[in-house]
Structures are given as C-alpha cells and as structure tokens.
A and B are shown apart, each in its own frame.
Chain A
Amino acid sequence: MTSPPDGFPGPAYPLGANPSFTDLVRSVGGESSNPASASGGQAAQPGLSGPHGMTAGGPNVMPGVPHGTTVLALKYADGVVMAGDRRATEGYSIADERIEKVFPADDHSAVAIAGAAGQATEIVKLFQTEIEHYEKVEGDRLSLEGKANRLAQMIRGNLPMAMQGLVVVPLFAGWDVGSEEGRIFRYDVTGGRWEEAVFHATGSGGIHARGTLKKRWKPGLDRAAAIRTAVEALYDAAQEDVATGGPDLFRGVYPSVKVVDRDGFHTIPEDEVRGAFEGIVEDLLANQPPIGASGAREAEEAGE
C-alpha cells in the first residue's frame, strides 16, 4: 500500500498509484458534483435530447429539462469528422442557439454529447481530466480503446441519473495511434459501447442524419467532402427534428465541425462550415426549384 504524503489528496492504493482521476474525485468525496459517481440531487438541468427520441414533456422527462440534439461522426480518408448542431431546448422553448456539443477529449480524440446538458458537460470535463491525469501519472498515453472504455464506465455510472431523466449519451471518435486509423464509438444509456464501421449519429435528430449519411457516405471521402456531408446531414436533421437547430445565416450560427486526423484535433473554422453549407444550398437550387405547397401546384399547372 502506498499512501499519499500528508496534506495531499487521495487514499492509499495497493501496489502504487491508481491513475484514475474519477476514482480520486470519488474518494476525496468533497467534490460530489461528479456525475460519474451518480450521486446527486434532482436538480433540473438544461439538456440535449437522448437517443431514444424523448420529447419534451414525455413521461420520462423531468419538468423543465430541455432536450434536442443531433451529433454525428463519420470516417473519411485521413481520419474522422465529428459535428453537432448548436441548439439546446427546454420544453417548447429554445434554451440556447449557440451551445457547443463537440469537444476535444485530448489532442487525438473528440467527444460529442447528447442528453441533459449540465450532466453531459460535466462528464466531458471529467473525461478530459481523466485522460490527462492518466497520461501524467503513467507517463504514457491511454490507447483509444482505453479512452473509449473509460467513457463507457462513466456513462454507466450515470445510469441512476439517467433513470430520473438526465440521460447522457455521447459519441466518441479519434485517431488510433497504434493502428493508424480513425475510429468511431457509440454508446447507449447503460454504458454499452459499440464500434461503428463508417459513421453514426445520435440524439433526437440522429435518425434523420443517419439517413443522409447512408446516402452520401462513400469510402475514401476527402476532408472537404466529409465536412460537407456532415453539414448536409445536420441540415436534413434540422428540417425533420424540432430540437435540432439548422444553420442561421442571419445570426451567423453554423454547426460546429471538428476533425481528428494523424496530426490531432482541429476545429473547422466557421467560414469553411459556412462555405460547405452555401455549396449545399447552391446545389439544391440548381437541381430543383424550391419545394413548397404553392410551388408544387404551380409546377403541376405549368405541366398541364
């Protein structure tokens, strides 16, 4: 057993140090805002909706807990693209139009969140610290597999809160330094973890985004095409799902898009995302006139 010197936090661990920050927080106890330890009150928190299409006011949702999200990840030639819309809802109102749902987990991986926003951002913060803590204590980086597993355990720890409506379901993607490829992991509310072969989308609009991804994804997409596919999937999801925010040209709100490749985590500048979105709109206009009830009627009349 080694115990920490006087005045330092942490219990005694058998056989040296435990490199887990989550365990440390739990043992110290004082900071019980730790969501992974799943102890805490029933505070109403802003949120982004889980994968089960829970609608605001539904039976499992606590009063005043906002929901609604689409986050997605897809592989491309040199890594993975991860993107999310920017809307958080609270019942029938919009809680935030510019919320960030995609975060760097470390410099070679990214995590996107769907679910109760307060709970989810706390889990992300804990996850980031967890990875860095491990790296510093051990002097080695955690493998991508190790990071994905650790996240699964943290989501499992949140299960009691999820049963009360504070569901958090992340999406995790990163560059595997060992096998030299981008990899994507999806989760369910119980901490189940599955690796996805090419793409995945989660959140209330995830099902719609997946439709677009299925049609648009091709092996060996280049970076620009992958970014465009991600933006298009989010645009389609925003049309079908009230809780997913679409691009807002007037206020300058665009989806957040991140890329993880061999060189690490990059945030795609807003100009580039706007460019991708404008390209999509241009192509839509070129291939078909705007579809509307009156437009369709006029077209019919003209055809007759």
Chain B
Amino acid sequence: MSFQPYVPPEQLIKDRSDYARKGIARGKSVVAVEYDQGILFLAENPSSTLHKVSEIYDRVAFAGVGKYSEFEDLRIAGIRLADLRGYSYGREDVTAKTLANAYSQALSTIFTQQMKPYEVEILVAQVGDDEGGNSMFHILFDGSVADEEGFVAMGGRSEDLSDRLKDSYRGGASLPDALRAAVDAVSAVEERSFEPQGLEVAVLDRTRSRRKFRRLAPSEVGEIVGGGGR
C-alpha cells in the first residue's frame, strides 16, 4: 500500500489544463466564418485525405484541432449519435445543440476522470434556413462550451487569428470574399502564403438540397483566392 501525495484540486486542474493547452498549441489552426449563404471552414492541412473538417449530418458539420486520434474519435462518436437519432426520430431532430451538449459532457468527464485530458478543441456548426439561423458551438478540452457568432478560430494561433478576423469580418459577405478574408488572416498570422493544396476548405451551404456540407477542391479554392485581384 503506497500513499498518494496530496495534490490540491486547483493544482490538478491547472496541470491538466496546461497539458491540454500545450498539446493544442502545437497543432495547426481551423477557422470558421459565416457568409451570406452559410458557414465556411478553413483549415491549414497538407493532407487531402485526413480531414480536420467533416460532415456530421444534413445541416451539421464538425471541425477539430489538436491530436488527430482524439478528435477523430469524437467525430465518429458524433456521426453515430446523429445517425442513430435521425434514424429513430426524424432528420430535423438532429441539431448542433444536441451534439454540443453530448460533446461537452463527454469532454468534461474525460478531463476530470481519465489519466490525461483530450488535447483537442472542436467546433460543431449548424447552418440555418436564413442568415440569423446559424449556430456555432466551440467546445474546449475541459467540456466548456461557447456559443459563437460570426467567426471562430481554434488551434495554436487562435488568439491572433481571432484578432485578425475581428477586423476583417463583415456579416453577409459572399463566399469568395469570406474565403479570401479567411485565407488572408491565416497567411498573416502564420507569416507565409499558402498553396490551395495546403488548405482544407469546406462549406455548409444552405442552398444545397438535403446534405448541406460540401468540400471545395483545391482548384476551386485556387480560382477564388487567385482570381480576386490579389
């Protein structure tokens, strides 16, 4: 029988938070911006197959930063929850709010009860029928949730990115304008320019029929970003 040294709970929480924050700070960033027809997601991601942004359900998308295996775990859990709910109830009963609550509960339990906290930050976004109807929930490693409006930045340089986006964000911008602004913000913070192949871009587009989620191919991104008279 060995005695565990006493660790004050404040210290325990602080250590875990620092650990999670350090992990997240190492990762690349994700930005989400509302535009006139939906929500745009932009991630710095050299891989074209391992995604940071993905579809959860008809109107709901997921974005994650930090440790890939951990946010991938959360992504699949979310798809399962959403599909099961939509199958047993109705498709319109699957909302970002439900998912955000479930994620918040799960992350909070992991943060307090597991050996190590998840080193992730996630975003659950839902596109509404009109511009005021969108919702974006930013969920941290400890399960705390923020209901965001307009734009969200997550990951290593999230504070700098938020500052940039605060300046450039205009409500009701078109997709090309919103994308250019987002790319500019990421390039400025990272102090380098990006090829379209190094970016992962997706939208929740309310003009689409049932499944609102769509990925933009690098060629499409290149056309928009390059063709804007930069």
Which A residues fall within an 8 A CB radius of B?
2, 4-10, 17, 21, 24-25, 28, 30-31, 125-126, 129, 132-133, 136-137, 139
Contacts and interface: CB of A to CB of B under 8 A. Distances in A.
A6 B110 contact: yes
Given A2-B73, A136-B55, A9 B105 contact: no
Interface string B33-69: 0000000000000000101001110000000000000
Contact of B79 (A6, A126, A133): A133
B194 interface: no
Interface of B: 49, 51, 54-56, 73-74, 76-81, 83-84, 86-88, 102, 105-107, 109-110
Contacts of B86: 129
Nearest to A2: B73
Contact of B81 (A2, A8, A126, A137): A8
A99 B107 CA distance: 46
A21 B57 CA distance: 14
B102 A8 contact: yes
Given A7-B109, A8-B77, A137-B76, A21 B88 contact: no
B80 A8 contact: yes
B105 A7 contact: yes
Nearest to B79: A136
B77 A129 contact: no
A299 to B, nearest CB: 54
B77 A5 contact: yes
B84 A4 contact: no
21 contacts: A2-B73, A4-B77, A5-B106, A5-B110, A6-B106, A6-B110, A8-B102, A8-B106, A10-B80, A21-B83, A21-B84, A24-B80, A24-B83, A24-B84, A30-B88, A31-B87, A126-B87, A133-B83, A136-B54, A136-B83, A139-B49
A283 B107 CA distance: 69
Closest 5 CB pairs between A and B? Answer: A5-B106, A8-B77, A6-B109, A4-B77, A17-B76
Contacts of A7: 102, 105-106, 109
A9 B80 contact: yes
Contacts of B83: 21, 24, 129, 132-133, 136
A139 B77 CA distance: 14
A267 to B, nearest CB: 13
Nearest to A4: B77
A201 B74 CA distance: 44
B87 A139 contact: no
A132 B84 CA distance: 12
Contacts of B110: 5-6
Given A24-B80, A126-B87, 10 more contacts: A2-B73, A4-B73, A8-B102, A10-B77, A25-B87, A28-B84, A31-B84, A133-B79, A136-B55, A139-B54
A285 to B, nearest CB: 41
Nearest to A19: B76
A7 B102 CA distance: 6
A174 B109 CA distance: 45
